[in-house]
Amino acid sequence: MIVPLFLDTNNCRHFSQDARRTIEEVCADAEPEIRSFLGDLNEDIELACQTGPFVIPETGEMGMAIAPGRVEWTVDARLPGGVAAVARAQLHFTLFHELHHLVRGWVMHGGAARVSFMEGVVSEGLATVFERDFGGRKTPWGQYPDEVEQWVAELLELPVSASYDHWMFQHPDGRRWIGYRAGTYIVDQAILASGLSAADLALVPSDEILRMSGIR
């Protein structure tokens, strides 16, 4: 069961009763659909909801897989319609993305030690393709450019200690979502070669997916 936690406690300053009810309804609607594709999810999952400005501008919200049974969801309460409107428009899809991370173990705390920068690239690519193919959301961070193979070559040269923010979100040279977009390309190539889906590949090691894609 996905249990929403509202981090402003019970004062409802940002999470009105309507917003809370909407979030609970979205979780209840999305959960059985996601579980039908990802059978290895924890039985109990916490969705820690908070308000704040650190969100994806295109969606007004952002999710993060914090720990094996916990996702954090930040929403900008200042947007038209407030929290409830953003939740209705976006949360369903974000749950598809973040719960794929939980199954794969791509979490901020409590996961396996990271040995390659490409683990993040592949994991974000898989979650992006999963939310696209199974959840139905096409995202700007899932669109790769004509020069994507050059981006992949750049990423393959990075050490595990490379700046995650620069390569996954906003690079100093102006590019956005380099790792996400290249990862989506890699996963699409692996799917074309194998006939498997992003759900099927959830537990496949990153190096194997790179080999399947023809990158390595």
Pair 89, 137 in one domain: no
Pair 93, 144 in one domain: no
Residue 169 has pLDDT above 60, yes or no: yes
Report yes or no on 62 lying in a domain: yes
Q: Of the residues 104, 126, 150, which one is the last residue of a structural domain?
A: 104
Pair 86, 28 in one domain: yes
Tell me the sheet residues that pair with 131: none
Pair 156, 81 in one domain: no
Pair 135, 203 in one domain: yes
What is the average pLDDT across 80-109?
97
Pair 167, 128 in one domain: yes
Confidence of residue 9 (pLDDT cuts 50, 70, 90): low
Q: Of the residues 43, 78, 104, which one is the last residue of a structural domain?
A: 104
Domain encompassing residue 37: 2-104
Residue 14 has pLDDT above 80, yes or no: no
Q: What is the pLDDT of residue 8?
A: 65
Query: 126-130, 204-208, 212-216: which range is least confident on average?
Result: 212-216
How far is 56 from 201, CA to CA, in rounded Å?
26
Report yes or no on 110 lying in a domain: no
pLDDT, tens digit, 9 for 90 and up, residues 99-115: 999 999 999 998 888 88
Residue 13 has pLDDT above 70, yes or no: no
Pair 97, 121 in one domain: no
Residue 11 has pLDDT above 80, yes or no: no
How far is 173 from 162, CA to CA, in rounded Å?
15
Count of domains for the chain: 2
Report yes or no on 208 lying in a domain: yes
pLDDT, tens digit, 9 for 90 and up, residues 116-165: 999 999 999 999 999 999 999 999 999 999 999 999 999 999 999 999 99
Q: What is the pLDDT of residue 12?
A: 58
Report yes or no on 111 lying in a domain: no
Pair 8, 99 in one domain: yes
The domain that holds 79 is classified in CATH as: 3.30.2010
State the chain's mean pLDDT as an integer.
95
Report yes or no on 10 lying in a domain: yes
Q: Which contacts qualify for 122-125: CB closer than 8 Å, 24 or more apart? A: 122/183, 122/186, 122/187, 122/206, 122/209, 122/210, 123/183, 123/206, 124/168, 124/179, 124/180, 124/183, 125/180, 125/182, 125/183, 125/184, 125/185, 125/186, 125/187
Q: What is the pLDDT of residue 40?
A: 86
Pair 206, 181 in one domain: yes
Predicted TM-score (pTM) of this structure: 0.95
Report yes or no on 163 lying in a domain: yes
Pair 63, 150 in one domain: no
What is the average pLDDT across 85-104?
98
Q: Of the residues 73, 104, 135, which one is the last residue of a structural domain?
A: 104
